[in-house]
Structure 1
Amino acid sequence: MTSQPTPSRRLFLAAGPASAVFGALSQAVARAPGEDDPIIQALAEVDRAHAAYEQGSDVSSDEAYERICDAEAELFSTRPTTRAGATRLLRYIADFLDQDDVINDSLVGATIGDSIRDAIAVFERQALAG
């Protein structure tokens, strides 16, 4: 009978970031039609910056956080050129606005992200229908 290696704490802790990376990769493959859009490259850079920050890369956390800020600034100044790119940008903005109560409005702050995602759903349904 072969013995199974005992799972280590390090392996357990590494599973979370690894699953996030594999999830992002599967989403990137599913969204390949808009890959010529500059938004796709900008979002990929944001994803890389977040992954480096979460994995505790070789740079300090301040430098890693600064990389995220720079990547997001570049993303928000990039114009999408395809429907797929526009949809992904809107989804990112909706998620961004939902973080840490970014929208400081007690009446609509909690619904802005959902409103953007609802609009995206219309684009996605139309794309599938036609």
Structure 2
Amino acid sequence: MEFFMQASRLTIRATLAAAALLVSSVAFAHPKLLTSTPADKAEVAAPQKIELKFSENLSTQFSGANLLMTGMPGMADHSPMKIAAKVAGGDDPKTMVVTPTQPLSPGNYRVEWRAVSSDTHPINGNITFTVK
């Protein structure tokens, strides 16, 4: 009888451990921004495109970004202005590419992104950069 009780306890512990691992792996399944070009807070010449590289493959139909100008010479604190840009997946399924439709003028910019991977939970964030 003692053998069966010990086996039952081991089974319960193994089940609980497996459940904990499953829950923790789901919690870590959200895409994270790994790098961006230009880098966050960088001062650069006007980029032709902005690349965001994530930790997981993106669901492009649910992911996206907005490019905003947040400051310009002589008007550092004006309201953010949306800049027309095309947003698409890159050659790598973990990459989002934001391509402005016009060359960027000198000023401060923010890219507000939304990334969705296979877990379907949207993750939002942003990067900023300055065009010289």
More strand by share: 2
More helix by share: 1
Tell me: higher relative CO, structure 1 or 2? Use CA pairs within 8 A at least 6 residues apart.
2
Rg larger in structure: 2
The TM tier, using the shorter chain, reads under 0.3
The TM-score normalised by the length of structure 2 is 0.23
